[in-house]
């Protein structure tokens, strides 16, 4: 199969979907891989290294999209890429279609097969821990006095009180945030609806300045917090919030919210996604950091994890085609978003209130 790897064009996004090691495997399996020139530059992979694996280095994105059937990316398709989409394409990337009606329309109009990489990770996205680790790091930086923070140190020197952080949601992202915070000496209270998640993180960090609380106790901790880190996977159809606008009035004016989940009006009512080029805004007197591609700031590690995780899926799709690949691999079927102009991803159908074909029905009758 002809496989294409375009350069990511989201602002400050340095990741690449496949590194030379994965390209080498695909070329050895008989596939043709085209990589856009410069695609791996920020992830530590040069055009020459790709060429050495047998990849063809394409001059621009238009060439990659025109000559490839399977398009493998990291981030969603952006408006400047819409014109490249064709019915022959199989698009494998983090599509996040539920919140993106325009892109959903474009994919349906093109009639391509779209598979959302974010739904295919059996043990969590390899970039989620990085989002937590880097998001917490950036949150700590925003707690420094010159940035408007409380000025509390993250190391409790000379008997002073260290930074106090709240981490909401102790899944892959939340546990990443804990790694940064607790290794540095920050005092942390963790919250999760899942008692098992609370138990395991407490066990893991026994001896650290860390406790967990029931989520109902969150409002009572807000006034003390220097840093609130949200890592909850918020259902797209939920209309309430864990931290609403009125609660911000109870927080210290120096406090910062690092909303790594960054769902618009999600668990944090005042959240809207930002980018690395303009990462922070102030709402109701509280600074919000809500970058929606945090791992893009550590592309060397992030690309290594992502490329390794998706290689088996890319290889399978290239070998047997997308429909048979989804029949053979349950996790891939979970990400099947659209095909031939039909919407398949249930979450997107429900959230956008449009008809969809359940994946099992689609796979049962697809040729
Ligand atoms: N900004 C970025 O660059 C970036 C990168 C990766 C992931 N994310 C986002 O981070 C979020 C978390 O991802 P994850 O992989 O850790 O998810 P996850 O499902 O592994 O963990 C979420 C945790 O939140 C808990 N939770 C759910 N509802 C809750 C509630 N009401 N109160 C308290 N806890 C609750 C769950 O029990 C779970 O432990 C997702 O929204 C994901 O899209 C953002």
> Which CATH number does the domain housing residue 346 bear?
3.40.50.720
| E strand intervals along the chain | 2-5, 32-36, 56-58, 70-72, 90-93, 113-116, 164-168, 187-191, 210-213, 227-230, 256-259, 280-283, 286-289, 336-339, 342-343
How far CA 127 is from CA of 108, 168, 309, in Å, comes to 28, 18, 10
Both 286 and 138 in a single domain?
yes
Instruction: Pick the residue whose CA is nearest to atom 34 on ligand 1.
Output: 192
Both 159 and 287 in a single domain?
yes
pLDDT at 100: 95
Pairing between strand 164-168 and 227-230?
parallel
Please indicate whether residue 255, judged by its CB atom, sits closer than 6 Å to ligand 1. no
Phi and psi at 281, nearest 5°, equal -135, 160
Both 241 and 280 in a single domain?
yes
Both 28 and 57 in a single domain?
yes
pLDDT at 316: 98
**Residue 276 tokens, joined:** 């690395």
Both 264 and 165 in a single domain?
yes
pTM value?
Answer: 0.91
Both 133 and 114 in a single domain?
no
Instruction: Give CA–CA dist 333/122, Å, rounded.
Output: 12
* Ligand 1 atom with least separation from CA of 172: 16
Overall size of the chain counted in residues = 367
Task: Decide which of 264, 296, 328 is a domain's last residue.
Answer: 296
Exposure b/e, 209-230, CB count within 10 A at least 16 = b:
ebebeebeebeeebeebbbbbb
* Ligand 1 atom with least separation from CA of 267: 31
Say whether pLDDT at 124 is over 90. Answer: no
Please indicate whether residue 170, judged by its CB atom, sits closer than 6 Å to ligand 1. yes
Please indicate whether residue 131, judged by its CB atom, sits closer than 6 Å to ligand 1. yes
Kind plus residue range of the DSSP H or E element containing 64: helix 61-67
Q: At what angle do helices 172-184 and 195-204 cross, to 10 degrees?
A: 30
Instruction: Give CA–CA dist 96/336, Å, rounded.
Output: 12
Helix (H, G, I), strand (E, B) or coil at 349: helix
- Check if the beta carbon of residue 272 is closer than 8 Å to that of residue 264: yes
* Residues 61-72 pLDDT 10s: 999 999 999 999
Q: Kindly give the distance from the C-alpha atom of residue 127 to the centroid of ligand 1, in angstroms, as a whole number.
A: 12
Task: Decide which of 262, 296, 330 is a domain's last residue.
Answer: 296
Both 96 and 136 in a single domain?
no
Please indicate whether residue 232, judged by its CB atom, sits closer than 6 Å to ligand 1. yes
* Residues 249-303 pLDDT 10s: 999 999 999 999 998 889 999 999 999 999 999 999 999 999 999 999 999 999 9
* Ligand 1 atom with least separation from CA of 263: 41
Instruction: Give CA–CA dist 206/136, Å, rounded.
Output: 20
Both 111 and 138 in a single domain?
no
Q: How many CB atoms lie under 10 A from the CB of residue 235?
A: 12
pLDDT at 271: 96
Segment 307-325 mean pLDDT: 97
Please indicate whether residue 197, judged by its CB atom, sits closer than 6 Å to ligand 1. yes
Average model confidence (pLDDT) across the chain: 96
Range of the domain at 56: 2-119+298-365
Instruction: Give CA–CA dist 144/224, Å, rounded.
Output: 16
* Residues 190-215 pLDDT 10s: 999 999 999 999 999 999 999 999 99
Instruction: Give CA–CA dist 46/59, Å, rounded.
Output: 14
Best mutation site among 12, 169, 238 for ligand 1, i.e. most ligand atoms within 8 A of its Cβ?
169
Percentage of the chain exceeding pLDDT 90: 95
Residue 122 — very low, low, confident or very high, per pLDDT cuts 50/70/90? Answer: confident
Both 201 and 284 in a single domain?
yes
Say whether pLDDT at 123 is over 90. Answer: no
How many structural domains are present in the chain?
A: 2
Both 88 and 233 in a single domain?
no
Please indicate whether residue 279, judged by its CB atom, sits closer than 6 Å to ligand 1. no
Q: Which residues pair with 113 in a beta bridge?
A: 90
Both 331 and 208 in a single domain?
no
Percentage of the chain exceeding pLDDT 70: 100
Burial class (CB in 10 A: 0-12, 13-18, 19+), 283: middle
Segment 49-55 mean pLDDT: 98
Task: Decide which of 253, 272, 296 is a domain's last residue.
Answer: 296
Please indicate whether residue 63, judged by its CB atom, sits closer than 6 Å to ligand 1. no
pLDDT at 344: 98
Both 183 and 328 in a single domain?
no
Please indicate whether residue 129, judged by its CB atom, sits closer than 6 Å to ligand 1. no
Please indicate whether residue 6, judged by its CB atom, sits closer than 6 Å to ligand 1. no
Instruction: Pick the residue whose CA is nearest to atom 8 on ligand 1.
Output: 261
Say whether pLDDT at 43 is over 90. Answer: yes
* Residues 164-181 pLDDT 10s: 999 999 999 999 999 999
């Amino acid at each position: 199969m002809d496989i294409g790897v375009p350069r990511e064009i989201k602002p400050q996004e340095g990741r690449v979907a496949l590194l030379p090691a994965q390209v080498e495997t695909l070329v050895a399996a008989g596939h043709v891989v085209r990589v856009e020139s410069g695609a791996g530059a920020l992830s530590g992979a040069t055009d020459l290294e790709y060429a050495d694996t047998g990849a063809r280095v394409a001059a621009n994105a238009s060439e990659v999209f025109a000559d490839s059937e399977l398009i493998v990316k990291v981030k969603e398709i952006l408006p400047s890429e819409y014109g490249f989409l064709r019915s022959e394409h199989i698009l494998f990337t983090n599509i996040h279609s539920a919140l993106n009606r325009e892109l959903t329309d474009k994919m349906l109009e093109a009639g391509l097969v779209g598979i959302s990489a974010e739904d295919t990770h059996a043990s969590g996205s390899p970039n989620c821990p990085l989002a937590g680790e880097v998001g917490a790091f950036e949150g700590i930086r925003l707690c420094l006095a010159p940035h408007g923070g409380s000025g509390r140190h993250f190391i409790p020197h000379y008997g002073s009180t260290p930074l106090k952080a709240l981490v909401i949601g102790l899944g892959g992202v939340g546990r990443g945030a804990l790694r940064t915070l607790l290794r540095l000496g920050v005092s942390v209270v963790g919250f999760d609806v899942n008692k098992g998640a609370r138990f395991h993180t407490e066990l893991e960090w026994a001896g650290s300045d860390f406790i967990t609380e029931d989520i109902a106790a969150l409002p009572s901790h807000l006034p003390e917090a220097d840093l609130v880190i949200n890592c909850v996977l918020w259902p797209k159809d939920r209309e309430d919030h864990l931290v609403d606008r009125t609660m911000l009035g109870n927080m210290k004016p120096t406090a910062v919210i690092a909303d790594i989940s960054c769902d618009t009006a999600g668990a944090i009512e005042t959240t809207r996604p930002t980018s690395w080029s303009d990462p922070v805004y102030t709402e109701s007197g509280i600074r919000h950091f809500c970058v929606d591609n945090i791992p893009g700031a550590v592309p060397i590690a992030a690309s290594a994890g992502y490329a390794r995780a998706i290689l088996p899926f890319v290889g399978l799709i290239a070998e047997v085609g997308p429909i048979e690949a989804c029949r053979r691999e349950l996790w891939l079927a979970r990400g099947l978003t659209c095909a031939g102009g039909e919407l398949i991803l249930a979450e997107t159908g429900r959230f956008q209130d449009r008809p969809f074909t359940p994946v099992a029905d689609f796979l049962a009758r697809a040729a």
